[in-house]
């Protein structure tokens, strides 16, 4: 392959007039300047420079072992300014090191990346590339606007079909080209071009881990400025946090919660927050058995949902000296697009036993309401199965239509409540599983 393909040249040809258009229009120029200022802020620059230095370092190491050579420079640069920078923003939103490896593996699934490579391998003459690029970009932008809006459901289906036909056509053309000229594809150079993005995506993981660690520590240390007014105590807290949790972000987040709810006045008070985290982890490692007539083990209840994304991270005391404990998951989007329906799960109880479980469905899209309620039913069924309750929920008309209901079964009362919002068709649907030992007042 030449250093610049017709597709690369077409992209450059379109970028230049677009940039000039933004630069010549006063209102667009000010927006462009604002974006550029955001990207040249010290913190953003530090991250980007770190990325470029890291990619250069791993490229050098790959060169030392004979995997990388100068012919891969273009692919390395494109990966860095494309997938590399995009990966930074994904990692910042992820904020969970436990998901880094699975994310990298999913993004590099063999079949997907092979098909993608075959499609990008085939380029057309410059005039065709100049025509395809704006049309394809326009269709993708239209799809991003129409997705998630019920009134645009037909347009979304049409655009998805159009893009699928376009992608399939490119795939057929790519495979046809390989069939008639296999030597241009099945060679060492092509293999290196194919494997390089996979290698870079896996070797970038330590950088991503370091970035998440840096951001999390910075966020928590800013929080300490409000939690601890004494400067010397605050400095001690930061040093101790680095010592205990340098490579343990889950521990850091647990500890910061303890700091937030405690009244820390002395070094002894500070030391006790680390002890509490250590003690709670020991209990989690070997949780005590909870008789079914008393409730559920909080650590078992956190694993009741079928979807791992609905499983809370840890069970914590809500305030120092209080009896109320809680663990909550993040909200999980049930479909793509803005204003998606969302589902969350939480458990409540005291330090030893959970006695109230909650599934909360936030319905914001009427077009997918039925699917969202069915998903809620599946999770509720999984939870009741884990409890050992012999219930069939797939024929519960009230549940599948978002209406209130009450079910008494053994030691548990299952009840649903609904709160409608001002916008027609939007509402919160809350399903509670309350054990008979649950305290209404803590």
pLDDT > 50? residue 105: yes
Those residues whose C-beta lies under 8 Å from the C-beta of residue 114, and which sit 6 or more positions away, are 194
What does the longest C-alpha to C-alpha distance in the chain come to?
A: 77
Strands (E), 217-319: 316-317
Measured between alpha carbons, how far is 147 from 337 in angstroms, rounded to an integer? Answer: 5
**Confidence class for position 99, pLDDT limits 50, 70, 90:** low
Q: What percent of the chain has pLDDT over 70?
A: 86
> Mean pLDDT throughout 164-188?
73
> Mean pLDDT throughout 111-135?
65
> Mean pLDDT throughout 269-290?
92
- Specify whether the CB–CB gap between 360 and 344 falls below 8 A: yes
More confident residue, 310 or 164: 310
The continuous run of DSSP H or E covering 409 comes out as strand 405-409
Those residues whose C-beta lies under 8 Å from the C-beta of residue 180, and which sit 6 or more positions away, are none
pTM for this predicted structure = 0.73
> Mean pLDDT throughout 276-285?
92
pLDDT > 50? residue 117: no
The pair of structure tokens assigned to 406 is: 């009450």
> Mean pLDDT throughout 300-306?
94
Backbone torsions φ then ψ of 313, nearest 5 degrees: -80, -50
The pair of structure tokens assigned to 225 is: 């400025």
More confident residue, 138 or 276: 276
Measured between alpha carbons, how far is 56 from 80 in angstroms, rounded to an integer? Answer: 10
Average per-residue pLDDT for the chain:
83
**Confidence class for position 357, pLDDT limits 50, 70, 90:** very high
> Mean pLDDT throughout 123-132?
80
> Mean pLDDT throughout 68-72?
87
- Find the radius of gyration of the CA atoms of the chain: 27
């Amino acid at each position: 392959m030449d250093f610049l393909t017709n597709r690369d040249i077409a992209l450059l040809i379109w970028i230049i007039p677009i940039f000039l258009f933004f630069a010549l229009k006063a209102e667009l120029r000010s927006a462009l300047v604002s974006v550029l200022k955001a990207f040249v802020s010290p913190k953003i620059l530090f991250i980007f420079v770190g990325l470029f230095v890291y990619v250069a370092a791993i490229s050098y190491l790959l060169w030392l072992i004979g995997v990388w050579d100068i012919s891969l420079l273009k692919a390395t640069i494109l990966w860095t300014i494309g997938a590399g920078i995009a990966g930074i923003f994904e990692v910042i939103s992820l904020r969970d090191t436990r998901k880094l490896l699975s994310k990298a593996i999913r993004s590099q699934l063999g079949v997907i990346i092979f098909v993608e490579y075959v499609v990008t391998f085939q380029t057309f003459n410059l005039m065709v590339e100049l025509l395809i690029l704006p049309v394809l970009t326009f269709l993708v932008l239209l799809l991003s606007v129409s997705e998630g809006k019920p009134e645009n459901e037909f347009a979304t289906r049409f655009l998805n079909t159009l893009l699928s036909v376009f992608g399939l056509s490119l795939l057929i053309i790519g495979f046809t080209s390989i069939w008639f000229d296999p030597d241009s594809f099945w060679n060492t150079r092509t293999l290196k071009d194919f494997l390089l993005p996979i290698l870079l995506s896996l070797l970038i993981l330590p950088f991503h881990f370091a970035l998440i660690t840096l951001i999390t520590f910075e966020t928590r240390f800013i929080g300490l400025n409000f939690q601890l007014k004494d400067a010397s105590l605050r400095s001690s807290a930061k040093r101790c946090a680095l010592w205990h949790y340098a490579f343990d972000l889950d521990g850091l987040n647990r500890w910061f919660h303890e700091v937030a709810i405690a009244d820390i006045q002395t070094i002894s008070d500070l030391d006790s927050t680390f002890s509490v985290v250590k003690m709670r982890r020991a209990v989690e490692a070997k949780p005590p058995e909870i008789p079914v007539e008393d409730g559920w083990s909080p650590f078992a209840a956190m694993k009741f949902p079928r979807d791992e994304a609905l499983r809370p991270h840890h069970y914590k005391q809500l305030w120092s000296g209080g009896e109320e404990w809680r663990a909550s998951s993040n909200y999980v989007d049930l479909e793509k697009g803005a204003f998606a329906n969302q589902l969350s799960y939480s458990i409540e109880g005291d330090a030893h036993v959970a006695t109230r479980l909650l599934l909360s469905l936030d319905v914001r899209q009427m077009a997918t309401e039925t699917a969202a309620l069915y998903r809620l039913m599946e999770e509720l069924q999984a939870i009741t199965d884990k409890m050992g309750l012999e219930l069939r929920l797939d024929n519960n008309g009230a549940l599948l239509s978002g209406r209130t209901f009450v079910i008494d079964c053994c030691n548990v009362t299952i009840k649903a409540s609904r709160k409608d919002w001002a916008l027609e068709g939007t509402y919160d649907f809350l399903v509670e599983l309350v054990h008979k030992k649950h305290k209404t007042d803590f």
